[in-house]
Amino acid sequence: MKTIWHNPRCSKSRTALNLLKDTSVDVHVFHYLNESFTYEDLMSVIEKLSIPVIELVRTNEKIFRASGLSRTSKDELLIEAMLQNPILIERPIIISGDKAVIGRPPERAMELFK
């Protein structure tokens, strides 16, 4: 089973979800903007992505700048900001076992099938 952290208002997220559904694999859709998640959940995603925390942050969102954050902010501040404002989390995130990818472009979701 694959899990997708999904924002239905995002075209790339919708495209990635459709690609996953086309594979006939079971997909759990996690609407991260409406469903709650914990610090541990977010840390698990970051670990599975194997990327710097800042790469998971949507730095162009108004709330990013309004929060006084920058690309050089400490990881803990960025994580706290994402917990408080999930809109800051890059999407979609596709998770399979101990690996994850950010589906930008959406075709990256298919990397988990290699």
Catalytic residues: 10
**113, 23 contact by CB (below 8 A):** yes
Q: What distance in Å separates the CA atoms of residue 52 and residue 46, rounded to the nearest whole number? A: 8
Cα–Cα nearest to 113, from 38, 39, 24, 10: 24
Helix axes of 39-49 and 75-84: crossing angle, nearest 10 degrees: 120
